[in-house]
Amino acid sequence: MALGAPVIQVWASKRDHAGADAAYCATVVADALRIADLAAAAGIAIGFDYHGGTLTATDAETQCDHPALGTFWQPHVGANAATAEAGLNAVLPRLRNLHVFNWAGRERFPLAARAHDWQRWLRLAASTGRDHVCTLEFVRDDHIDQLGADAAVLVQLIAEC
């Protein structure tokens, strides 16, 4: 609470369901509920990363039964626009924030090249009526100029929501 952060991002382990037995999953869930109670008591929410290689790698895996628990969202790398949008729709009730980027495989592209998709996704996120933070990640060539260009695109997309 000292930082004033309304949401804390948490990775749901470093294993996906294929690499986790029932006991491991139960331990992670118990810990998630414990930290959710602590966060709620402090007026803070928890947002699990929506990311491959974790226990919250799919839409269904982000389901939670605690008001302080939610999810961040990002399109899975390589997912087409329709698949990504279906994933966002599935997590909307639990959506906390979004990770904004444009990449496929290991190659990163300017955000402008996928602006039409991000425009739809940001409008969909805005339809919740809740505030969401958009974090830019993974810019082309990790270059500061690309960060500035992507930030300008993101600001314009948000203004159009």
Residue ranges of the domains in the chain?
A: 1-73, 88-161
Kindly state the DSSP code that residue 92 receives in the 8-state scheme.
Answer: G
pLDDT given for residue 77 in this prediction: 82
Determine which helix (DSSP H) or strand (DSSP E) holds 70, and give its type and residue range.
Answer: strand 69-73
Long-range CB pairs of 146-150 (<8 Å, 24+ gap) are 146/110, 149/110, 149/111, 149/112, 150/100, 150/110, 150/111, 150/112
Indicate the range of 35-39, 57-61, 75-79, 112-116 predicted with least confidence: 57-61
For 142: left if phi > 0, alpha if psi spans -120 to 50, otherwise beta; the answer is: left
d(CA 87, CA 117): 13
Nearest CA-CA partner of 103 in 67, 137, 154: 137
Residue 2 in this model has a pLDDT that exceeds 90: no
Residue 1 in this model has a pLDDT that exceeds 60: no
